[in-house]
């Protein structure tokens, strides 16, 4: 074989292997991340939070459903779900079946655009344009999902506030609807949360800076988001190619600080962005960014 044909063949083989790895293996490599976050009052015992996001569930994804259900074995003190649970009109039963063992524990949630609207085929290059036009798919049965979660006692924080007593600690919450499609109404929850609470937690599906700034300014200790899929396709030693929102690439996943600083928090508010557990059915691939849930251990901050 002549070198002029051998090189393209090698390139093609490498590309084919990469596509197979991303679409057949890595997108089903369920992963649990763990982080410790020093946000509780000095002297507090630890509190554990399971953060789930972006399941993008279809009815047939039994492996994902079984893995999510198995997370109940962690016995988290609190479960938080930051939206984009659905990827089909028939996905609510499977999603609730996956979450069923976790619904016995205290929980809170917000929804995302893919709970409201079905996915559609899209040109992936549009994600490189910040102001690309968004076209929604058909409406999904999000009310059934919401009622299934709220009916078991989880707090619906869609442009709302709430509170839970968890492990002897009082947690106050503020949440907004999906800011990526501008359904957020932060003014409905604006203002400093209860200063006497042990923890002040904010929830949003998409980590849009305009929303994160308001959570930080109001004095929330910790904000949990999803939406980004961690970039979904990451380049080793470079990171995410896109974030699909206003957040910077360096904070597209995992635990970071977010400024502006609030009183008593000179370094800003803690922010955790989940890389999520799913993909659109029309883009079923992940690379250097496996699907994941996060187990956060909240610890006492220094006095």
**Poorest-confidence range of 2-11, 42-51, 193-202?**
2-11
Q: What angle do the packed helices 62-70 and 92-99 form, to 10 degrees?
A: 30
CATH number (domain holding residue 213): 3.60.21.10
Task: Give the mean model confidence (pLDDT) for residues 115-144.
Answer: 77
Mean pLDDT for 34-40 is 97
What total of structural domains would you count in the chain? 1
Query: What is the reported pLDDT for 10?
Result: 39
Q: Mean pLDDT of all residues in the chain?
A: 89
Kindly indicate the confidence band of residue 27, based on its pLDDT and cuts at 50, 70 and 90.
confident
Share of the chain above pLDDT 70, in %: 85
pLDDT at 128: 56
**Tell me, what's the pLDDT at 28?**
93
- Burial per residue of 33-57, b for 16 or more beta-carbon CB atoms within 10 angstroms, e otherwise: beeebebbeeebeebbbbbbbbbbb
- What does the pLDDT look like over 174-227, one tens digit per residue? 999 999 999 999 999 999 998 889 999 999 999 999 999 999 999 999 999 999
Q: Cα–Cα–Cα angle for 298, 34, 210, nearest 5°?
A: 70
pLDDT, tens digit, 9 for 90 and up, residues 264-291 = 666 789 999 999 999 999 889 999 999 9
Q: What is the pTM of this model?
A: 0.89
Q: Flag the least confident range among 7-11, 72-76, 131-135.
A: 7-11
pLDDT digits (tens, 9 = 90+) for 145-174: 999 999 999 999 999 999 999 989 999 999
Mean pLDDT, rounded, for 80-88? 97
CA 55 to chain CA centroid, Å, is 9
How far, in Å, CA of 24 to CA of 7, rounded?
25
SS3 146: helix
Domain containing residue 218: 3-300
């Amino acid at each position: 074989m002549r070198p002029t044909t051998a090189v393209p063949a090698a390139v093609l083989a490498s590309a084919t292997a990469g596509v197979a790895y991303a679409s057949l293996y890595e997108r089903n490599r369920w992963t649990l991340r763990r982080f410790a976050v020093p946000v509780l009052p000095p002297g507090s015992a630890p509190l554990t939070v399971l953060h789930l996001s972006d399941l993008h569930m279809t009815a047939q994804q039994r492996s994902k459903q079984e893995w999510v259900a198995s997370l109940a074995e962690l016995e988290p003190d609190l479960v938080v779900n930051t939206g984009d649970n659905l990827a089909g009109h028939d996905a609510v039963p499977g999603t609730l079946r996956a979450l069923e063992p976790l619904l016995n524990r205290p929980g809170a949630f917000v929804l995302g655009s893919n709970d409201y609207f079905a996915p559609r085929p899209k040109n992936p290059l549009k994600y490189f344009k910040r102001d690309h036009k968004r076209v929604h798919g058909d409406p999904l049965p999000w009310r059934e999902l919401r009622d299934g979660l709220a009916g078991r006692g989880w707090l619906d924080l869609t442009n709302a506030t709430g509170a839970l007593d968890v492990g002897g600690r009082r947690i106050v919450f503020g949440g907004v609807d999906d800011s990526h499609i501008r359904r957020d109404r932060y003014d409905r929850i604006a203002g400093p949360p209860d200063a006497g609470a042990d923890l002040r937690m904010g929830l949003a599906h998409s980590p849009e800076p305009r929303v994160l700034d308001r959570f930080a300014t109001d004095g929330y200790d910790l904000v949990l988001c999803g939406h980004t899929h961690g970039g979904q396709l990451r380049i080793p030693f470079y990171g995410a190619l896109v974030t699909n929102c206003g957040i910077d690439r360096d904070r597209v996943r995992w635990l970071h600080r977010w400024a502006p600083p609030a009183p008593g928090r000179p370094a800003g508010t803690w922010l955790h962005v989940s890389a999520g557990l799913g993909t659109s059915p029309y883009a079923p691939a992940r690379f250097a960014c496996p699907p994941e849930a996060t187990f956060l251990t909240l610890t006492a901050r220094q006095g």
